[in-house]
Structures are given as structure tokens and as C-alpha cells.
Chains A and B, each alone.
Chain A
């Protein structure tokens, strides 16, 4: 038998031998990852969403927002509960451009945003109807009515002029509390 044939047979025998994977080191890695994740684990008590390209301001506040209806203001438009209601006329490309509403979207002297107002009123009526049908009670036995809380998630560049219109519209639709959302500062 030639030398090469012998080497081939030896190699084949090596491959056929049952081999065991060394899992101990892999398990070590998994334990470290698991401990790290448990340490930095945090869940959210709300279903607040963000849209692509939205840059939130950073805040030192520690109060975590509870679940509520959400309005998102981006450089392109206004979204309420995942549905785009208003498109700004000139999409903002740079910081010095202003967020322009179409004239048909505003009324009440340019203070109220019509599509947003209609959506807010509709949600309010639906909630009140549901609460009348299936009354909710708190721990003290008092009936819980429509809470009227609206979370505002806005891009950091959004000017107060745009925000004011959203706030005025929420007030006109009888929302009582405005919740300004920001990103928690990491220490």
C-alpha cells in the first residue's frame, strides 16, 4: 500500500471517530450575556411609538409616561394613533425652514387643526360611549370617565408655533392633560 493511501485511510478514520463539542466555554459566554441582560433589562409600561427619522429631545425627568393617546409630529406631518392626518406643505430639510400647514387644514383663525380635531372628538365620543356601556371603576368604587390625556411626541426641531396649534386643538376637543414625551437621558 502506498504512503498516500495510508494517509488517506488515517484521515478517514479520524473523521469517523465520534467527536464531542466543548459546550462549557459556550455556556460561560451565555451566562455572562444573560447576567448582563438581566442587569440592564427594562420594560416599558406604555405602547408609545416613534417614527423613522424622529429625533426626540433628551430630558433629565424621571417620570415614566403611562399609556395614552399619542400624537406624533415629525418634519413631514402629524400622525395620530398611527394614522397620518396632516401633511406639511414643505417638508423640512434644514433647521431654518418652517412647518407649513395647508390652509384647508386650519380653521378658527389658524389656531385649530381640523383633521386632528375631528379625530380627537371621534376618539373621545367612542371612549365615552364604551365607558357608558361598560363602566370602569377604580379601587375606591368611583366610575372612571374619559381621562382626556394626550401624549405629544415631537421632533426636537418642531417650533412652538406648530405645537401651539396641536395644544389648542387638544384643548378645543376637551382634552385636559398634555403629556410631552422626551427621551430619557442615559447616565
Chain B
């Protein structure tokens, strides 16, 4: 036999439960404020360059093997890529019409040199006095970074197996710090 449905159950079940969103909103607003406060809107990157030191014994040791000593001379109208020990033919790359170095061509030339000397990591910069910091930073990138679109270059690793290199010439030094006048 069917029982009559309870009136109490029917009235209790139809009530809507409202979630109290105010404390949750408080927490979210606090979190957003905290994130905004601790966020770094300007991100920096760096290129390290060791200060050149002159030690006669080190120099004598270095000269025994005649290193590549790859040098980038940035003059008023061109960039010269050359080796102090004439290990590569000197290449002159004219500046762009706006007077800034042609970083694309310089990068391509450096890739070519790196393929010949995969163990070499050092490059010497000799900019003229008028070279701007902006041009220098773009040249750092061109000399250091190997793009994913660049042809792959391999060098023998410590285990004898050839491994791809990730940087072109990461050790950047300045070669004309001691001169006070523009020698270009």
C-alpha cells in the first residue's frame, strides 16, 4: 500500500543553498594584488665579458700555438672580420644604409668560421669610438647566439662523439680598451 508523501521532506528539498563567495573573492583580490606587486615587468638579459689581463707568461704560452684570435673591428663604414695570425682571410662587411653594422651578414660569416674552427670560443671586439651601445648589443647577439634556423655545427665532445654546438663565440672580450683615441 502506498504511503502519503511527507510534506516536511518536500518543503526542505526545494530550498536553494547559496555559496558564500565573499571570502573567496577576498582571497582572489589579495592574490592579484600580491602578484601585481611582485611581478617584474621589465626583464633583463646579460652578456658577460671578462676584462682583458696581460700576463707575459700567459701571452708567451698563447703565442706558441698561434690561436685563431678572431677579431671584429667595427669601423665607421664597415665591419672587418679578421684573424691576428692570418688563419682566415680578412672579410669586410659594409654597414647598412642607416650606418649600423650588418649583423645578419656578420652572423653568417661567423657561422662559416665556426664551422672551420668548432673548438674556438673566443672573439675580440674592437669597435670605433662612435659605435653605439645598441649596435654593440646586436653584435654580441650575432657573435654569440646560434639560431635554430642556422645550419648545425658539430664538434668532438669529451667522449669523442660529435655533438651539436649551441653557441657561436660566447667569450667576448674587448681588444682596444687601452687606447683613448679612435684608432679606426
Residues on A facing B (Cβ under 8 Å):
23-24, 26-27, 30-31, 33-34, 37-38, 41-44, 46, 48, 50, 56-65, 73, 109-111, 149, 151, 154-161, 163-164, 167-168, 170-171, 175-184
Contact = CB atoms under 8 A, between A and B. Distances in A.
B77 interface: no
A178 B48 contact: yes
B46 A151 contact: yes
Q: Is the interface of B mostly helix, strand, loop or mixed?
A: mixed
Interface in B106-154: 127-134, 136-138, 140-141, 144-145
B137 A177 contact: no
B130 to A, nearest CB: 6
Contact of B43 (A44, A178, A180): A44
- Taking residues whose C-beta sits less than 8 angstroms from the other chain, chain B's interface range is 35 or more
B28 A61 contact: no
Nearest to A154: B133
A60 B141 contact: yes
A168 to B, nearest CB: 5
B42 A64 contact: no
Interface stretch (B7-15, B61-69, B86-94, B170-178): B170-178
Interface string B20-51: 01101100110110011011101111111111
B44 A163 contact: no
B21 A24 contact: yes
Contacts, number: 158
Given A160-B127, A171-B51, A27 B21 contact: yes
A181 B46 CA distance: 5
Given A23-B22, A63-B45, 16 more contacts: A23-B21, A48-B44, A61-B47, A61-B140, A64-B43, A111-B180, A156-B137, A157-B133, A158-B133, A161-B129, A163-B136, A171-B51, A175-B51, A177-B50, A179-B47, A179-B49
- Which of A57, A154, A184 has most B Cβ within 10 Å? A57
B39 A43 contact: yes
A182 B137 contact: yes
